[in-house]
Structure 1
Amino acid sequence: MDLNMAKKSFITLFGSQLKLWFMKNTKVKVGILLLTMIIWLFTVLRNQYTYTIDTTLDILNIEQGKTLKEKLPEKIKVNFSGKGLDLFYLLVSQKSSFKFVLDVENIHWFYDFNLNEYFANNPEKIIIPRNVDVKFNHVVYPESLRVELDRLDVLKVPVRPRLNIKTAPGYIVVNDPVLEPDSITLSGPRTYLKKYKEINTEEYNISDVKSSIEINLNLEISATDNINIPTQRIHLFQDVDQIGERVITNIPIKLKGVPHGTNVEISPSEVTLTVVSAVSHLKDIQPEDIEVYFNFQKNWKRGENYYVPMIELPAGIISWSNLTPRRIEVRILRERSF
């Protein structure tokens, strides 16, 4: 027991002295620690290493009027040897000063590149910052690359919004949505571009809507088609309004399909009905906007004088009711043989 107590006392005393040592002359000790780290870092950065780095791959000199049929990787994995400081500088270098360039000037349609062979034979295509002393060893991935070209086409297509809007009771969607832009000019390989008749937005679902909708929607295009698109989003406005009713009077009745030489008269010449539409649209409805007509050639029957006219509503009117009068009289005033 005495021995164990002695050990515990020694450990407690040593811990106290160590803590006291750290608390005294703190600035000196921090300075020593920083100096030690700097010396260690300087030593490490001067050592020789072999390291694999993700490097930008640039494709240059594509034949005019053509483009890449398939997307190529933007980066390749390349193995270098050099001092730690030089390798570190490569890691933080800008894209323009450190990249591998694949020149496709002599390719008409396709070519399979062995990247290790290509860059070994064309060291000038390896762009490395000045004053960086590293050695290119080999391309790790991909070791080979197929470059395939296609005709470059340009195509303007409409934007189709994928909307599922459910309004609250007593409300209605007014007119078609307003898109900005409402069409997109695409460019890319003819093989893939020709299948685009329109471009869809992402799907947008909303319910219990009581006010107008204004949102930005992403456009959907296949990432594998190598299609260039000037914008990834469109702005959409969809008007939503309350439903109301209005009585429209003095709506003229038109006669259609009257044979030449037949004099037909209708009575009355005007009707009244109630329409249902968005409140904002009701005030703009004119009697001439609603087509009320009787087609003599299709509907007239000998011996029958009273008919229910046909009604065609313009866009924006949901329904009609309370036609007054319900039936009109159709009279032949003079009939000729024909």
Structure 2
Amino acid sequence: MQNLKLKIRNLFRSRKINVFLLFFVLAFLILVLTKLSKVYTGTLSFKVKPKHVNATHVIVNTDKPALNITFETNGFNWLKYAITRPELDIDFEKDVSKKDSMLIWSVSKGYSNINNQFSIDKKIISINPDTLLFRFDVNDVKLVPVVLNIDIDYAQGFNTLDNIKTTPDSVKLIGPSTVLKKIKKIETQKLKLSNVKANIDQLVMLNLDSINDIKTNMKQVSLSINVSKFSEGIVELPIEIINIPAGKTINYFPKHVSLSYTTSLENYNNITSQDFKVICNYEDASEVSYLTPSVVKQPKDVKNIRLLQQKIEFIITE
């Protein structure tokens, strides 16, 4: 037994057997390459994928249509298709005609598009079936506003003069009219920003979990906020009384109120007391013994407006 093992070991160690195995492997590879280089004809089934479907059309086929394509190509390509097989695009914009509630694809219209999806070394012999039928339903289109769901906390002394909104500020929804009627807005996913002291420029995902039966042209929107260093300002403003009854005179105190506001440092020197106006409406004092001042004019580039005097005492003289 030991002698037999020794002879086998010596046989594999010999140069002759190594040369034989090398030539055997080379001959086998040449045979395989020769076979794969030859051209064969066969038929394969390819699933199709709708492309450029009208936004208001929804394909409702329960099964996925397929095309049986007979073509000539070399063995390398047949080997590739045995491993993986791509889906073929059906161009609904160019190659499909509409009849009643059906969209009809035909070889006569769609052959060129199918042929272009195969490389030049694949020659199509035939395509079956010669027509594909796609049932569809018609949906409505509705544009709804995007509502930003944001909790933003600026760092001390920082803020923005922007009206915070997204780009775009609305989203197109496609679906059954009965469902679309109930949708008034689309919120973004919750966004929390803390200690903000620099410009914001990022994408925010839309919250689409509650509209599973609805299609939309986007899943995210852009958010841009210009953040600036802010400073507080205070102005003294005269009070104007309106709607005083004829024949009556109002004596009130104080005659001026202080108003505080914040604005960006870049805009601070552009703000003056002339940009604001404060009034008291006498008609609002019918049930109380004081007047309430309110701001009826202010510049657009200020925030956090606050009147430091909330009650104006008055007496009536005939």
**1:238-274: per-residue Cα shift (whole Å, max 9, x none)?**
233445322223x121213311222224455323344
**1:280-332: per-residue Cα shift (whole Å, max 9, x none)?**
56544432555543333333789x7xx57534485753253755xx8756354
Q: For the Cα contact (< 8 Å) 1:212–1:239, is it kept in 2?
A: yes
Q: Distance in 2 between matches of 1:145 and 1:240?
A: 52
Change in Cα spacing, 1:8 to 1:160, as seen in structure 2 (3 Å) is farther
1:38 alignment partner in structure 2: 33
1:136 alignment partner in structure 2: 128
Change in Cα spacing, 1:46 to 1:69, as seen in structure 2 (3 Å) is closer
Query: Of 142, 149, 154, which residue of structure 2 is paired with 1:162?
Result: 149
Q: Distance in 2 between matches of 1:286 and 1:32?
A: 95
Q: Distance in 1 between matches of 2:97 and 2:206?
A: 33
Q: For the Cα contact (< 8 Å) 1:71–1:226, is it kept in 2?
A: no
1:310 partnered with 2:293: yes
| Identity across matched positions, percent | 19
1:104 alignment partner in structure 2: 98
1:268-283 to 2 correspondence within 5 Å? 268-276=254-262, 279=265, 282-283=268-269
Q: For the Cα contact (< 8 Å) 1:218–1:234, is it kept in 2?
A: yes
Q: Distance in 2 between matches of 1:287 and 1:276?
A: 14
1:294 alignment partner in structure 2: 280
TM-score by structure 1 length?
Answer: 0.61
Q: Shift of the alpha carbon at 1:232? A: 5.6
TM-score by structure 2 length?
Answer: 0.64
1:254 partnered with 2:254: no
Q: Shift of the alpha carbon at 1:215? A: 1.7
Q: Distance in 2 between matches of 1:93 and 1:70?
A: 17
Q: Aligned residue pairs: how many?
A: 298
1:66-215 to 2 correspondence within 5 Å? 67-69=56-58, 76-79=65-68, 85=74, 88=78, 95=89, 103-105=97-99, 107=100, 110=101, 124=108, 127=111, 129=115, 131-134=123-126, 136=128, 146-149=135-138, 155-184=142-171, 190=177, 194-215=181-202
Q: Shift of the alpha carbon at 1:213? A: 0.7
Change in Cα spacing, 1:149 to 1:185, as seen in structure 2 (3 Å) is closer
Structure 2, unmatched stretches of 5+, are 116-121
**1:24-69: per-residue Cα shift (whole Å, max 9, x none)?**
9xxx9997565333223146x6264x54322244799x9xxx9425
**1:168-221: per-residue Cα shift (whole Å, max 9, x none)?**
455445442254333456677655555554444444333332222112335566
Q: Shift of the alpha carbon at 1:7? A: 1.6
Q: Distance in 2 between matches of 1:95 and 1:70?
A: 15
1:55 alignment partner in structure 2: 48
1:330 alignment partner in structure 2: 314
Q: CA RMSD in A?
A: 5.1
Q: For the Cα contact (< 8 Å) 2:259–2:307, is it kept in 1?
A: yes
Structure 1, unmatched stretches of 5+, are none
2:5 alignment partner in structure 1: 7
Q: Distance in 2 between matches of 1:308 and 1:22?
A: 112
Q: For the Cα contact (< 8 Å) 2:47–2:67, is it kept in 1?
A: yes
Change in Cα spacing, 1:309 to 1:104, as seen in structure 2 (3 Å) is closer
Change in Cα spacing, 1:22 to 1:288, as seen in structure 2 (3 Å) is farther
